[in-house]
C-alpha cells in the first residue's frame, strides 16, 4: 500500500474514532445505548436466564446477550483502531519500519 493511501486510511480511522467519541458523549446515546441497552438490558437478560426453564428461551436469551457483546466489541474495536491510528500518524517512522521489514 502506498504511503499516501496508508495516511488516508489512518486519518479515516481517526475520524471514525472521533465520531464515536462524540456519539458517546451525547446524552441520548448515554441513556438509550449505554445505560439502556448495554447495561440495563443485559441485567434483564441475565436475570431472565436464571428463571428460564425452557432451553429455547435460554438460547434466545444467550443470542440476545451475544448481540450486545458483538456491539460492545465493535465499539471497542473502533476506539482501539482510532487510538492506534492516532499514534501511527504521530510516529510514522515506527510503522513504516515495520512495513519495510514485512517486505523483506
**Residue 54: all three cell numbers together:** 425452557
User: What percentage of the chain exceeds 90 in pLDDT?
Assistant: 75
Q: Are 57 and 66 in contact (CB under 8 A)?
A: no
Residue-range domain boundaries for the chain: 3-92
The whole-angstrom separation of Cα 81 and Cα 86 is 9
pTM (predicted TM-score) = 0.82
Residue 22: partners with Cβ closer than 8 Å, 6 or more residues away: none
- The model's pLDDT over 48-95, given as tens digits with 9 standing for 90+, comes to 998 888 899 899 999 999 999 999 999 999 999 999 999 999 998 877
Amino acid at each position: 500500500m502506498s504511503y499516501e493511501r496508508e495516511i488516508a486510511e489512518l486519518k479515516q480511522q481517526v475520524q471514525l474514532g472521533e465520531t464515536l467519541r462524540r456519539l458517546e458523549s451525547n446524552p441520548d446515546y448515554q441513556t438509550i445505548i449505554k445505560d439502556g441497552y448495554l447495561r440495563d438490558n443485559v441485567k434483564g437478560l441475565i436475570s431472565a436466564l436464571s428463571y428460564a426453564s425452557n432451553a429455547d428461551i435460554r438460547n434466545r436469551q444467550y443470542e440476545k446477550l451475544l448481540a450486545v457483546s458483538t456491539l460492545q466489541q465493535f465499539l471497542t474495536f473502533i476506539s482501539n483502531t482510532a487510538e492506534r491510528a492516532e499514534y501511527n500518524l504521530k510516529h510514522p517512522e515506527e510503522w513504516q519500519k515495520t512495513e519495510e521489514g514485512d517486505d523483506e
